[in-house]
C-alpha cells in the first residue's frame, strides 16, 4: 500500500509539473493559412481513408520532397511497403499536431511512423531549444496516444547551414535531449544527420544544394541510413 501511495504521489507530482508549465506555440495545435496547405491536408485524409497504410512519414518540406527529389528512392524502398507521405513544406510541430488531430491518421494503424520535424521551429525569433524539444515530444506523445500499436522511428533533426553555426548548434542541443525518448516503449530514436556531413563537418551542395533540402543523393543517404532499423520495426 505504501509503495502504491508513493507511486501515485510521484505521477501526481509529474502531472502537476506539466500542468504548471505554460503552453507555447510549438505545442499548441494550429492550422496554417493558404488553400494549398488545406488542400494537401485534405488529400492526406482522403488517402488514409482508403486504408492499406503500413508506413507513414511525418514532417515538413524535407519529408514533402520525397515526392520530387526523392521520388525514385521512395519507389525503390517504400512503395512496396504501402507507405504514405504526410510531409508538408514549411510545417512546424504545431502544424503537425493540428493535422494529427484532424484526420491525417484517422482509422489507420501503420506498423511504423517515421518522424523528422522541428527544423522550421529553429529559426531566430521562433521556438527556443526547450520549446522545440517540447514540440517534438508532443508529436511523439500524440502518435503514441492515437496509434498505440505503431512503432515510432524518431529521427534527429537534420543539420542545416554549410558549416557549423548557431542554428545548427541549437539543433544539436535539441537532438541530444530528444535522444532520451528512445527509452520510451515503442519509440526508437535514430541519429542519422551526421551521414549528410563531409569529414570536416560541412555540407556539400551535392547533398543539400541550399544546405537544408536534399538532392536525390541525399534521399538515398536517408533511406540507406534507416533501412536496417526500419526493416526490424516493420517486422520484416
- Catalytically active residues are 61, 210, 213
- Long-range pairs of 222-231 with CB within 8 A, sequence gap ≥ 24: 222/70, 222/73, 222/192, 223/73, 223/76, 223/77, 223/78, 225/190, 225/192, 225/195, 226/114, 226/153, 226/155, 226/190, 226/192, 227/77, 229/153, 229/188, 229/190, 230/55, 230/112, 230/114, 230/153
Instruction: Tell me how far apart the alpha carbons of residues 37 and 77 are, in angstroms, rounded to a whole number.
Output: 27
The residue to which cell 520510451 is assigned: 184
Instruction: Tell me how far apart the alpha carbons of residues 236 and 222 are, in angstroms, rounded to a whole number.
Output: 19
Query: Residue 45 belongs to what H/E stretch?
Result: helix 35-49
Amino acid at each position: 500500500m505504501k509503495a502504491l501511495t508513493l507511486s501515485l504521489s510521484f505521477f501526481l507530482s509529474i502531472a502537476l509539473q506539466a500542468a504548471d508549465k505554460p503552453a507555447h506555440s510549438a505545442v499548441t495545435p494550429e492550422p496554417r493559412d493558404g488553400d494549398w496547405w488545406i488542400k494537401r491536408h485534405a488529400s492526406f485524409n482522403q488517402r488514409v481513408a482508403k486504408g492499406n497504410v503500413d508506413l507513414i512519414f511525418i514532417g515538413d518540406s524535407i519529408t514533402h520532397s520525397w515526392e520530387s527529389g526523392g521520388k525514385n528512392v521512395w519507389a525503390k524502398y517504400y512503395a512496396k511497403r504501402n507507405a504514405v507521405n504526410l510531409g508538408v513544406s514549411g510545417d512546424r510541430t504545431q502544424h503537425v499536431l493540428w493535422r494529427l488531430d484532424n484526420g491525417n491518421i484517422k482509422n489507420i494503424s501503420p506498423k511504423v511512423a517515421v518522424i523528422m520535424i522541428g527544423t522550421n521551429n529553429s529559426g531566430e525569433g521562433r521556438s527556443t531549444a526547450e520549446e522545440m524539444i517540447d514540440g517534438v515530444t508532443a508529436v511523439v506523445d500524440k502518435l503514441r496516444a492515437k496509434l498505440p500499436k505503431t512503432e515510432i522511428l524518431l529521427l534527429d533533426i537534420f543539420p542545416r547551414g554549410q558549416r557549423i553555426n548557431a542554428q545548427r548548434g541549437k539543433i544539436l542541443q535539441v537532438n541530444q535531449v530528444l535522444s532520451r525518448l528512445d527509452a520510451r516503449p515503442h519509440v526508437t530514436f535514430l541519429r542519422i544527420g551526421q551521414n549528410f556531413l563531409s569529414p570536416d563537418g560541412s555540407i556539400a551542395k551535392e547533398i543539400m544544394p541550399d544546405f537544408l533540402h536534399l538532392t536525390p543523393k541525399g534521399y538515398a543517404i536517408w533511406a540507406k541510413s534507416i533501412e536496417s532499423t526500419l526493416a526490424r520495426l516493420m517486422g520484416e
